[in-house]
């Protein structure tokens, strides 16, 4: 589905251009676009709405690149741009404030945004398990996983299969960290 739908291909190409040269924080240093592909694939596999899947490709463009919300709306429509806006952090705020806002915002964002954010957290938890940032010690990874669990708790309820995948991924991250302790 992802490779045959022209809208999905357009969103992926847009994201690949926007994230060109960016890599994930993990030790593997994989291209950043791999993350947005994984998030979109998680959503497709779990029956998320089309707009959430399109937004999955684009969800970090406003936060991490020069793309503006207006560009997203012009290119992909207001519905997709709104979902992206709901999951975008304000980088002008201190990190701890942004993290707190993610926890409280999880409770009130739209159903498509909740599914997107939950898939994003699943991808990020997998990365913490499989290829953690080299500079992150055990305590930092424990803190991240705990915070992701608090965000995820507020996102659940709209897609039982996605909720179950989040829970399994969260438990796997906790188990891995416990084994490393």
- Catalytically active residues, by annotation: 63-64
CA distances from 58 to 35, 138, 163 (A): 11, 30, 22
Give me the residue label for tokens 């080299």: 134
Three state DSSP letters for 47-96: CCCHHHHHHHHHCCHHHHCCCCHHHHHHHHCHHHHHHHHHHCCCCCCCHH
């Amino acid at each position: 589905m992802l490779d045959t739908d022209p809208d999905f291909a357009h969103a992926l190409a847009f994201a690949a251009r926007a994230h060109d040269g960016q890599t994930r924080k993990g030790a593997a240093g994989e291209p950043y676009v791999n993350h947005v592909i994984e998030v979109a694939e998680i959503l497709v596999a779990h029956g998320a709405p089309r707009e959430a899947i399109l937004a999955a490709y684009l969800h970090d463009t406003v936060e991490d690149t020069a793309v503006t919300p207006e560009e997203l709306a012009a290119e992909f429509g207001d519905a997709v741009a709104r979902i992206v806006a709901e999951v975008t952090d304000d980088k002008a705020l201190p990190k701890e404030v942004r993290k707190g806002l993610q926890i409280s915002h999880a409770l009130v964002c739209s159903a498509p945004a909740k599914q997107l954010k939950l898939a994003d957290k699943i991808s990020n938890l997998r990365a913490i398990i499989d290829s953690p940032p080299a500079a992150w010690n055990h305590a930092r990874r424990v803190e991240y996983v705990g915070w992701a669990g608090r965000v995820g708790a507020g996102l659940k309820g709209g897609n039982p299969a996605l909720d179950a995948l989040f829970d399994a991924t969260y438990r796997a991250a906790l188990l891995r960290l416990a084994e490393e302790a």
